[in-house]
């Protein structure tokens, strides 16, 4: 990771940890996680969490235009991340088979599975109107932030966390 990006993500991670430090409610933690990142990342148009409900992802806290409410595992970028439990880094969403265009302005996307105790509790999704907005540096930084978010959730948080 470039030194500048690493520094930016470390600073954002410190801010996130401080913001979430004394909170015990999973919904409040999730909302502040989303709000902080949306307001501190450049060139994005949507950022949020989809929570696991059986084999479906359901819209959780987010910032941006109204979004798709339910996404089956395996469908679109979010569904692929849920099904594979692997981060999906998509340079151009128009090249992703089965992409779901909730916001037609979005052109690139990164989706990170949120896993606690080997259970998928949801996915973290970020969209940009710019092709190629997200790099492997962004992936590493956002995965760090997701780990801090997950660590802040109350003990015993499961797939029904919100």
Domain boundary assignment for the chain: 3-152
Question: Structure tokens of 148?
Answer: 């801090």
Report the percent of the chain where pLDDT is more than 90.
84
Instruction: Calculate the alpha carbon distances from 2 to 84, 136, 138, 141 in Å.
Output: 28, 10, 10, 11
- DSSP letter assigned to residue 132: T
Range 36-47 average pLDDT? 96
Q: Yes or no: is domain 3-152 CATH 3.40.50.2300?
A: no
Going from the C-alpha of 128 to that of each of 11, 18, 89, 91, 106, the distances in angstroms are 22, 27, 12, 10, 5
Poorest-confidence range of 4-13, 17-26, 123-132?
4-13
At residue 99, the pLDDT reads 77
Give residue 7's pLDDT band: very low, low, confident or very high (50, 70, 90): confident
């Amino acid at each position: 990771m470039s030194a500048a990006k690493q520094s930016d993500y470390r600073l954002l991670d410190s801010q996130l940890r401080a913001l979430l430090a004394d909170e015990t409610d999973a919904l409040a933690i999730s909302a502040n996680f989303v709000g902080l990142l949306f307001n501190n990342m450049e060139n994005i148009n949507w950022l949020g969490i989809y929570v696991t409900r059986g084999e479906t992802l359901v819209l959780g806290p987010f910032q941006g235009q109204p979004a798709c409410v339910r996404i089956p595992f395996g469908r679109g970028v979010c569904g692929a991340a849920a099904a594979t439990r692997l981060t999906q880094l998509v340079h151009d969403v128009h090249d992703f088979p089965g992409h779901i265009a909730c916001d037609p302005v979005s052109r690139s996307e990164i989706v990170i599975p949120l896993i606690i105790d080997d259970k998928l509790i949801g996915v973290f999704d970020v969209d940009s109107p710019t092709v190629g907005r997200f790099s492997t540096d962004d992936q590493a930084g956002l995965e760090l932030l997701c780990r801090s978010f997950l660590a802040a959730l109350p003990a015993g948080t499961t797939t029904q966390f919100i």
